Amino acid sequence: MMRLGVCRQARSQGFTLIEMLVVLLIMGLLLGLVSATTQPDERGLLRIEADRLAQLLELAGTESRLSGKSMAWTADGSGYRFWRFDEQAGWFEVSDSDLLRARSLPAGMTISGLRVESMKSAADQGQARLEFSGNGMSLAFTIELSLGAAHYRVSGSPIGEVLALSDGGTDYGKVY
C-alpha cells in the first residue's frame, strides 16, 4: 500500500509527454490564428491606406481653409508629402506637423492616377499634385491607389468631403 502511494505522488509531480505535446499544439494553433488575423490581405491593406490618405487630405483642406494659406499634396512612386505656401518663402514641405509628415507607401502599393476637375489627368503629365486654396475654393479630385489586383479611389468634392471608395464605388470611409 505504501508503494502505491509513492507512485501516485511521483506521477502527480510532472507532465507526460502527450500532455506537453497537446499544449504545444494548442499554442501553435492560437499563434497561427492570431498572426493570420493581424496581417491584412492586399485589399485590406489598400483600404487602410486609402482611409488614411482620405483623412489626411481632409485635414490639409481644413487647415488650408482655416489658416488662409494654400496647401498642396504631391506624390511620387514611393510615397507622398504635404506642402504649405508662404508669401515670402514660397512652397515648403510641411515638417512641423506629425500628421502631415512625408509618408511612404507599403511595398508594392502605387498611386496609379490623379484626376482634378477641369484639368488634364496629372498622370498623363507625369506628376501628381493637388492644391488646396487658402480662400476656401476646392476642386473635385480622384486619386487612384492600387496594390496587386486591388484598387481603391480617394475622391474629394468641391464642398470638402473626402471619401475612400472601392472598385465598385462602395463608400468605405466618409470623413467629416
List helix spans (H) across 88-141.
Answer: none
Indicate yes or no: pTM above 0.75: no
Contact 35, 104 (CB under 8 A): no
Identify the pLDDT of residue 174: 43
Q: What is the pLDDT, as a whole number, of residue 89?
A: 86
User: How confident is residue 7, by pLDDT bands cut at 50, 70 and 90?
Assistant: low
What amino acid occupies position 167? D
- Strands 71-75 and 171-175, by their bridges, are unpaired
* Single-letter amino acid, residue 132: F
What topology does CATH give the domain 42-175?
A: minor pseudopilin epsh fold (3.55.40)
Query: Which residues sit opposite 162 in a β-bridge?
Result: 156, 175
Which has the closest alpha carbon to 163: 47, 27, 14? 47
Phi, psi of 28 (to 5 degrees): -65, -40
50-69 residue pLDDT tens: 999 999 999 998 888 888 89
Query: 137-148 pLDDT, tens per residue?
Result: 778 999 999 988
- DSSP for 25-88, written as a single string: HHHHHHHHHHHHHHS--HHHHHHHHHHHHHHHHHHHHHHHHHH---EEEEE-SSEEEEEEEETT
